[in-house]
Chains A and B, each alone.
Chain A
Amino acid sequence: MKKFKGRVVTPGQVSAKALVSHGGLNTLASFQKALQFGDKKATCGDQNNKDLYGKQMAGKALCLPQTIGSTTGGLVLYCACAMKRQPACLLFSKPIDSLAAAGAILAEVWLDDVKMPVIDSLGEEFLNYVKDDMTITIKENGVVEVE
């Protein structure tokens, strides 16, 4: 088991299986099919993301460097949360980007019954260490346990 320390963007404690993207997550391309065609597992639809394409994102501890792509990204993430198809948490190796931050904050402020903890600045070592299906546990104060 290894511990990493990041910064809390939106709070919460959760335990889930890891899903790792080494490249930036294109939020619109990844979630559009899930939102459009009723896929409750939120299967990643971004053909350009070899790590995630075709894998279930809902309920997973999504580990990534940052999000990329259209400025619709934040509202797409918000919709995924509102429709309960969001990842269990988002864990960024880099400082969070403005689009992902928008989605996470909108969900935190406007959705009473949804929790999606978000930690950023976990460092490059975190993304190098974590692998798909490892167990991730978010503790208080931005501590992330990986085993």
Chain B
Amino acid sequence: MAIQLTKEQKEILNGSKGETMAKVLKTMVMYGETFGAKKLVPVTSKYNHLVTSFGLKALGPVYDLMNKLIETGAKSGQQFSVDPRPLDKNVPANFLQKLIFNKFMYSKQEFYEKQLEALGLMNKDAFTCTAYMTEVGNKPQKGDVLSWSESSAVVYANSVLGARCNRNSGIIDLMGSVVGFVPYFGLLTDEGRKAKWIVKIETSKKPEAQLLGSAIGMKVMEDVPYVIGLDKWLGKKLDEETCSYLKDFGAATASNGAVGLYHIDKLTPEAKEFKTSLIEKGAKEYVIDDEELERVKNSYPVVWKNKNAKPKLCFMGCPHMSLEQLISWTKKLDAALKSVNRKKVYIKTVFTASPGVVKEFEKTGYAPMLKNMGVIVSSICPLMYMNNPLCSKMPVITSSNKLRTYTTARYYTDDEILSQITKGGTAI
């Protein structure tokens, strides 16, 4: 066995904590050996985060496996948050869609949530892809070793918070936490956090986060990019607006490619500390200017059957919006609607945010303003909502590059979305 196990780990593998726990450790050992890990290291974060939030009927074998863990007491020492729920009665759906969601697709939702509670769910509001936000309370510290999944959360935790986590799959996330160890490879190591790409930003204005992330993701795929020139537009401080930008940027790098960590020169923690010494010798270079962003945007396929269909729904918030984004969008919408003498949005629009952020938003005067403009605020997972044959036929628009990638939703920039929902639904 290539991985050197400690005495405690060897004992677990030999059954000291039962057959199920031995299998959990064996899984982590095989996972590590596949990627050349030489040891397992302790998970050090306070909380875990899991990707599987949906009681999809088709995932029966997963529920069986989780039952095995519960029955044998192989519980996680860590509590955890989990991705957003797939259902919300406030989000527009017709009779047939509701029937399919509740009675067919997600018929195991209640059962699965009970399993999550048994395994250590933080609380009933811990359903979000942005667990790292202050309002949710699962923010890892710099240097923490995580057993997280959810690609957008992993890339944020690594890049903006300086935690250490690989792009784990569902179930592996839980198993690392249950056994308390994860294999030491990839983004957990100093070497694995070195940049293989230098990305130079040479745009004439602040680049759209979702487009920039998409361009970089598609170019570097799973490699680590070191981005130079973005501080000109974002500044050198990780304030709320910048963190929101990096959340959306990172989600696009992770879904349009497979990026698990990026460094932004003069801004993100490791880039500030180690500067260009993070760049590997012989790193490739990618220059992004206005023309390149336009090229990337024009490369997206429009998979609507009728490409000129009037949009029926607009989803904003994949990943979930921050409090700062909810407030700034409320202000933008208010001004845009006033400019065209309208009171409500043209297209049914859903803003999604974590339950914790929504609670804080509701304490502000912006919540009734947004409601009066006809916008629904929900904590649903837009991706799970869209992932079925009925919704995939709907003309849905979004400024989320992640949602565009995984569903039939059509991408528009933030400005285009604002125009669409305040001035009319004709495709721009």
Contact = CB atoms under 8 A, between A and B. Distances in A.
B61 A101 contact: no
A79 interface: yes
Quick one: which of A29, A47, A69, A71 has the most chain B CB within 10 A? A71
Contacts of A130: none
Given A71-B150, A71-B170, A72-B169, A109 B30 contact: yes
Nearest to A46: B406
A102 B168 contact: yes
Contacts of A81: 61
A140 to B, nearest CB: 19
A72 B52 CA distance: 7
B31 A78 contact: no
Contacts of B387: 28, 32
B396 interface: no
Contact of B65 (A32, A97, A105, A110): A110
Interface in B136-176: 149-151, 154, 166-173
Interface in B92-121: 105
A74 B406 contact: no
Interface residues of B, number: 43
Query: Which applies to chain A's interface (DSSP): helix, strand, loop or mixed?
Result: helix
Interface string A95-106: 011110111011
Interface string B383-396: 10001010000000
Given A32-B387, A48-B301, A110-B27, A71 B167 contact: yes
A75 B170 contact: yes
B135 to A, nearest CB: 23
A105 B24 CA distance: 11
A101 B52 CA distance: 18
Contacts of A99: 167, 169
Contact of B255 (A69, A74, A110): A69
Given A69-B255, A79-B61, A101-B35, A110 B23 contact: yes
Contacts of A83: 60-61
Contacts of A109: 23, 26-27, 30
Contacts of A32: 58, 387
B303 interface: yes
Interface string A37-64: 0000000000110000000000000000
B57 A74 contact: no
B364 interface: no
Interface residues of A, number: 35
> In this complex, which of B26, B31, B105, B166 has the most chain A Cβ atoms within 10 angstroms of its Cβ?
B31
Given A36-B57, A79-B59, A102-B168, A71 B51 contact: yes
Contact of A70 (B23, B31, B151, B166): B151
A127 interface: no
A90 B168 CA distance: 19
A32 to B, nearest CB: 7
Secondary structure at chain B's binding surface: helix, strand, loop or mixed? helix
B171 A98 contact: no
A103 B169 contact: yes
A28 B407 CA distance: 11
Contacts of B62: 75, 78-79
A86 B269 CA distance: 42
B56 A105 contact: no
B186 interface: yes
Contacts of B279: none
Given A72-B52, A74-B170, A75-B170, A108 B30 contact: yes
B59 A35 contact: yes
A13 to B, nearest CB: 19
B31 A68 contact: no
Nearest to A96: B34
B232 to A, nearest CB: 31
A101 B222 contact: no
A82 B63 CA distance: 12
A36 B105 contact: yes
A73 interface: yes
Contacts of B169: 71-75, 98-99, 102-103
B220 interface: no
B377 interface: no
Contacts of A73: 169-170
B31 A105 contact: yes
Interface of A: 9, 26, 28-29, 32-33, 35-36, 47-48, 68-75, 78-79, 81-83, 96-99, 101-103, 105-106, 108-110
7 contacts: A28-B387, A71-B51, A74-B169, A78-B61, A82-B64, A109-B30, A110-B65
Interface of B: 23, 26-27, 30-31, 34-35, 51-52, 56-62, 64-65, 105, 149-151, 154, 166-173, 186, 222, 255, 258, 301, 303, 383, 387, 389, 405-406, 408
